[in-house]
Amino acid sequence: MRVTETGAGARRMLAVACTAVLAVPAAAQGQGGPMGDAPRFSPGVSALVGHQAKADRDGGGDVGVTRYFASLSGSRIAPGGTILGVSLGAGGADYSFGGAPLWDDVEERRLSVSFRTRLGERASMILVPSLRETAETGASLSDGRTWGVFGAVFWDVSDRLSIGPGIGVFSRLERDRTVFPFLAIDWDVTDRWNLSTGQGVGATQGPGLTLSYAVTDALRVGLAGRIESAEFRLDDSGAGPGGVGGHDSFPVVATVGWQPNPGTSVSAFAGMEYGGELTVRDDEGRLLSRTDYDDAPVVGGQVSLRF
């Protein structure tokens, strides 16, 4: 994957694209047959939680965080395979600082609409506009509002490989919007091994890559790595009054997933988080502080139901 600029904001927006591109077709195909045979309407619900243990910060103190998120979704699937979906969710991140705190807990709301349609026999197109509001407790969620839209085209290269390029445009808090290309892949290397980008293992967005092995038809194990990146509006007190907080890291985890039927999915992960970084910017986007913290254990899980 490649972005047109460096920095946490660009990485976070790339994550939104990768997640949505693979999530939408999976939701449709998970109904037990080709998209043309799917029901006209498919509601769903999902919840996830992830915990990073406390780790020492450079310069003194420590930091730990528990992230959580829940969403409701619905997809209308036309007989020809066209899909129109809506997802609405809310969650947050509870921070624990030892020493001088950088911010309090964080709240988040997300709304996205997705449109996917076939382009001939082996290609498809997707368009996803989205809206997100993320802010520290005590700050207005509307002050942490960002928007985005991306589009992509996918080709079924073979029965085992789907791949496609795309482009996204997203706003950022107190900084210029970012424009970037991306690439997603879903590759059945063998009947049991799969390599794919898309939905990751944590509660924040981030581009990732997962290698998984099908132990049985319902049980998969794997190894996943991804960039986690979050950006949020700060309240009027603290380290950056009215500014922007940021949290970036790179977890590498072992995963286990259980899907007893097409509408039920349960997964868990455990591993280590590397490259942790906390940033504070002022209300004009200027960097005020950047703090690294030690590698830390991470654990979590997710439950998804589709009806």
- What token pair was written down for 274? 């590397």
The pLDDT value recorded for residue 186 is 87
| pLDDT, tens digit, 9 for 90 and up, residues 246-261 | 999 999 999 999 999 9
| pLDDT, tens digit, 9 for 90 and up, residues 63-104 | 999 999 999 999 998 887 899 999 999 999 999 999 999 999
- What token pair was written down for 114? 């997705």
**Between 199 and 82, where is the model more confident?**
82
Greatest alpha-carbon span in the chain: 60
Architecture of domain 8-306: Beta Barrel (2.40)
| pLDDT, tens digit, 9 for 90 and up, residues 224-235 | 998 888 899 999
**Between 52 and 2, where is the model more confident?**
52
Instruction: Give the domain ranges of the chain.
Output: 8-306
Collect all residues with Cβ–Cβ distance below 8 Å to 59 and sequence separation of at least 6: 291
pLDDT classification of 220: cutoffs 50, 70, 90: very high
The pLDDT value recorded for residue 77 is 87
Chain centroid to CA 155: 23
**Mean pLDDT, residues 161-185 taken together:** 85
The pLDDT value recorded for residue 39 is 54
Encoded amino acid at 159, one letter: D
User: Among candidates 166, 152, 120, which has minimal Cα distance to 2?
Assistant: 166
SS3 131: strand
pLDDT at residue 152 tops 90: no
Q: Mean of the per-residue pLDDT values for the chain?
A: 84
Out of 142-146, 164-168, 201-205, 212-216, pick the least confident.
201-205
User: Among candidates 5, 4, 19, which has minimal Cα distance to 227?
Assistant: 19
**Between 208 and 259, where is the model more confident?**
259
User: Among candidates 207, 271, 282, which has minimal Cα distance to 241?
Assistant: 282
**Between 12 and 286, where is the model more confident?**
286
**Mean pLDDT, residues 271-280 taken together:** 97
* Spatial distance between the Cα atoms of 247 and 56, rounded to a whole number of angstroms: 15
| pLDDT, tens digit, 9 for 90 and up, residues 12-60 | 333 333 333 333 333 333 333 344 454 588 899 999 999 999 999 998 9
pLDDT at residue 201 tops 80: no
Q: Is the dihedral of CA 49, 294, 210, 193 positive or negative?
A: negative
The pLDDT value recorded for residue 270 is 97
Q: How far is CA 249 from CA 150, 210, 216, in A?
A: 24, 17, 32
pLDDT classification of 192: cutoffs 50, 70, 90: very high
The pLDDT value recorded for residue 66 is 96
The pLDDT value recorded for residue 198 is 64
The pLDDT value recorded for residue 141 is 96
pTM: 0.82
